[in-house]
Amino acid sequence: MAIYSRLFGLLGILCYITSIIYLISQFYPNVWLVHTYSVFGAVLLFFAVLAITGLTRVVVLTLLAAGSYVFFTSETGLQPVLHGFGQNMNLLTLFLLIPLIGTFMSTAGYLSALKEKVKERERQGGRHPYRLSYLLIATIGALLNFGSLAIVKRIADESFSSFQEKKLTLHIMRAFAFCMLWSPYFVNVGLVLVLFDVSWFDIGGYGMILGVIYMAVSVVMLPHISFADDPYVSQESTVSASYTGASLHSLFIFSIVLVGLSFLLDYLLAVNMLTVVSLLAVVLPFIWAAFSKILRAFIQDVYEQAEGSFSRLKNELAVFISAGYFGLALAYTELGEIISSVLFQISFGSVYLFTVFVMLIAILLAQIGIHPIIIVIGIGSSLTPSTFGVSPQYIALTLLLAWTMATQLSPFSGQVLMSSKLMNTPAPVIARQNAPFISICFVILSLVLYSFHFTGWL
């Protein structure tokens, strides 16, 4: 057991080394850097496949087998095969490095300051646990990504005096999806930007409009959340009189600088937003930690996080790398034209029906455990926007909606599994509870997205 623990720790550190090499290659293009991070990607995939089990392993091995068959029959040579293991390194880099922002906030005491502020507000009579927890996810979740669910749940448990635990947890899970529709710090947003070579500024505003409408539906549907066993949690909320740590003001300044630099550098640099936010996730926290005189503590926390990363993320590593390998293989086939033709025919040339079918395919496949990244890469790599008479931005937003809806309804998605753990409720029960909400969002948001095209906005 000690040997496996040590091996997993070394593989976790290799994950971060691979991501840093990828970032360097974006500013100093060199084929040997691409070779290096691709080889490391293959090594990580090999050990991840050995470590994972069940349906995920079957899906990953299927993708590898299908991709290898395409490479072999297409006679592409060895270099494309090797580079296939590094094809999705941009997404893995974002997925691995963005949590460093949350690690820094925790080390600096910013999250403790936020918790104390929430406690103070609760004590002063601002008792709106569902509203406040939703807003917390909708704001800090845009930066902290997946980790925000557990953070806000912990803040709620220690701060709110009266709430229904399962109802609140499902509500914040829905809030997480609000961020998925627009935040450049999320993998799904980064993926569609890369797939269709569009800027965040091309789709970010539309994503936020869809997010605000989604939020409104969440508010309306909140009273309809009802679990069979969900009693009220009642406790006394107290503010720590001895708290003398970081101020909330420091959190605001750090967040504003981070977001501001993200958009400024995206405008100034010749790299995409995905690379910019990944770079800032590494550089800015270390600089801020140095000036805050907490660098040593932060480095220790980062090291511990890196050591445990492979063990925590082996499923995601396997799926992301194998999906990239398969996606690159598809580029050597005519499958894209075939899929585009089939979708065009079954949608009768209707843009709205095309939107609905893409979203339905993602949701249905997610129900049997197929990760949305596989669906988005498979469909996104295959579609030609001009075939359907739409812009790349429109298809990018369609796939964003498809990913968001699918992960909110799939009992296999990370956010549903995390919520299941937080509320001690089976994932299928959560998915069923969320089904009416997602059905309403499906209809409304697909129509709103289509209206962008119909009115000529997209």
The pLDDT, as a whole number, for residue 240 is 56
Are 34 and 107 within 8 A, CB to CB?
Answer: no
232 phi/psi in degrees, rounded to 5? -70, 140
Does the pTM surpass 0.85? The reply is yes
pLDDT mean by block of 10 residues, the chain; 458 residues: 83 95 94 96 95 88 92 86 92 92 92 84 74 91 85 84 88 95 93 90 95 97 89 67 68 94 91 92 96 94 93 90 90 78 86 94 87 83 82 95 94 87 90 95 97 92
What's the half-sphere exposure (Cβ side, CA atoms, 13 Å) at 263?
10
Among all chains, which residue has been given the structure tokens 């498979």? 378
Structure-token pair, residue 64? 């590898």
Task: Give the Cα-Cα-Cα angle 419, 181, 110 (nearest 5 degrees).
Answer: 60
Cα three-residue angle 292-295-300, rounded to 5 degrees: 140
> CA geometry: angle at 382 spanning 328 and 349, to 5°?
180
Q: What is the DSSP string of 294-338?
A: -HHHHHHHHHHHHHHHHHHHHHHHHHHHHHHHHHHHHTTSSHHHH
Location of structure tokens 């990580």: 44
Beta bridge pairs of residue 234:
162
The three-state secondary structure class of 413 is coil
CA atoms within 13 A on the CB side of 87: 26
Asked if 149 and 172 touch (Cβ cutoff 8 Å), the reply is yes
